[in-house]
């Protein structure tokens, strides 16, 4: 087995891994998980705003 055969097999392996990753990322089974992950930064903002409102309410009481 010479170096060109190894390079060809490595190329095929990387291409198959890339295609597998693309299929996984765009599969409909992953949509819910990705949507939840995409909204995580906004959930932190909502929690921060809620804690600020609660602190202001306690401050005025």
pLDDT for 58? 72
**Residues of the chain scoring pLDDT < 70:** 45-50, 52, 59-61
Domain of 45, in residue numbers: 3-60
Residue with tokens 């996984």: 24
Six-digit token string for 18: 């890339």
Q: What is the pTM of this model?
A: 0.57
pLDDT for 1? 86
Say which residues have a Cβ less than 8 Å from residue 24's Cβ, sequence separation at least 6: 30
pLDDT digits (tens, 9 = 90+) for 26-35: 999 999 999 9
Instruction: Give CA–CA dist 7/46, Å, rounded.
Output: 51
Chain centre distance of CA 42: 15
Six-digit token string for 38: 């995409």
Q: How far is CA 21 from CA 34, 54, 55, in A?
A: 14, 44, 45
pLDDT for 47? 65
Domain count, the chain: 1
């Amino acid at each position: 087995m010479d170096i060109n055969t190894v390079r060809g097999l490595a190329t095929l392996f990387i291409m198959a891994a890339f295609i597998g990753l693309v299929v996984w990322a765009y599969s409909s089974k992953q949509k819910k998980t990705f949507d939840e992950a995409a909204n995580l930064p906004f959930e932190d903002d909502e929690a921060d705003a809620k804690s600020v409102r609660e602190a202001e309410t306690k401050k005025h009481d």
